[in-house]
Amino acid sequence: MPGASAMRRRPLPGFVGSGLGFLRKQPFAVAGLAIYLTFILLAIFADQIATHDPREILFRGAYRVARYLPPSATHYLGTTAGGRDVFSQLVHGTRSALQVGVTAAFFVVVIGTLLGLLSGYLGGWVDRVIMRISDIILGLPFLPFVLVISALTRPGTTTLVASVALMLWPNTARVIRSQVLSLRERGWVEAARVTGCSTPRIIFVHIAPQVAPLAALYGSIAVGWAILTEASASFLGFGDPNAISWGLMLQDAFANQALSRGVWTWFVPPGLCIVLLVLAGFLVSRGSEKLLFPKLGD
């Protein structure tokens, strides 16, 4: 192919270069990414990092459960009322938090983007049906609905992820739809029609890549929401009883009156981790907002 020589000289795709420059200029986004990365590493190497089995009831001496141990070299954050190691629970809780956050965000993004694309490009009754459904969902109170779903079905991670996805897609769909409404009027979309592109090809090959960054932004917001929801549901006793999660740790601490006993090392760390992970999502989305809408002021 004669184009080979030209291919070699092809410059770095624009988004790679601008992405690097963007990272330098966005300390908040970098901080958010760093927090994500830390938690991802924690989740991957949880088995190596955790000092104990998070479910194991520890004993000191004969038949004496090691409850409420203060922080020490063996138990970095002490132990729970049930004699379990807090630090190991915290590390393993990262897994369920990320699992819930990432899977829920994935479904939110996929459903929201797909419906937003169809709604915005096809218009007509498709648009009306999708938007009325999203109106209804946006009108439902978020947490109570998740709790009702969890109560009606088997409580567990799957139910939680499904109900978070069900409740959060309308936000993504609406923003994607409005973006598509403006994109569909662009000359090159018209050109795609004139040059014989089928409707699915216009939607998925021409328009979808343009809304991908926006979809990613809503994904990073959804990660935070999903983690918060999982923690709330677990705290209220609607989580997966067998999972080890930060929400469940908080519930355990609450039920054993850790606050009045002053066992700070039991309930502050999981709370802090939830805050950090949710914060990371918002930092990243704020940073990518700058990338997406550079004209927005501070």
Partner 1 sequence: MVPLIAANDLVKAFPASRSLRDMARGHRPVLRAVNGVSLAVAAGRALGIVGESGCGKTTTARLLLRLEEATSGTVLFEGQNVSALHGAALLPFRSRVQLVFQNPFDALNPRFTIRRSLTEPLRNFGLPAAQWEAMIREAMARVRLDPAEAYLDRHPHELSGGQLQRVVLARALVTHPRAIIADEPVSMLDVSVRAGVLNVLRRARDELQLAAIYISHDLALIRYVCEEVAVMYLGRIVESGPTAEVIAGAAHPYTRALVAAVPVPRVDQDRGDLPIIGGLPDQRNQPSGCAFRDRCPLAFARCAEEAPPLRAIAPGRHAACHLA
Interface residues with partner 1 (CB under 8 A)? Answer: 1-3, 5-7, 10, 14, 186-188, 190-198, 201, 206, 209-210
Considering the complex, what minimum distance in angstroms separates the CB of residue 292 from partner 1?
15
Q: Measured from the CB atom, is 7 or 62 closer to partner 1?
A: 7
Q: Residue 246's closest CA among 219, 216, 276?
A: 276
Q: For residues 25 and 2, what is the distance between their CA atoms, to the nearest angstrom?
A: 40
Residue type, 13: P
Minimum distance from residue 194 beta carbon to partner 1 (Å) = 5
Name the minimum Å distance from CB 206 to partner 1.
6
Residue 112, SS3 per DSSP: helix
Q: Which CB sits closer to partner 1, 92 or 206?
A: 206
Q: Which tokens go with 72? A: 């020490």
CA distance 243 to 95: 10
DSSP class of residue 235 equals H
Closest separation in Å from C-beta 190 to partner 1 = 7
Cα–Cα dist 137/133, whole Å: 6
Please identify, using beta-carbon distances, which residue of 61 and 209 lies nearer to partner 1.
Answer: 209
Within 8 A by CB and 6+ apart from 153, the residues are 159
Nearer to partner 1, 126 or 268 (CB): 126
Q: How far is the CB of 9 from partner 1 (least distance, A)?
A: 8
Write out the E strands in the chain: none
Minimum CB distance to partner 1 smaller for 174 or for 206: 206
Q: Residue 48: which residues within 8 A CB-CB, separation 6 or more?
A: none
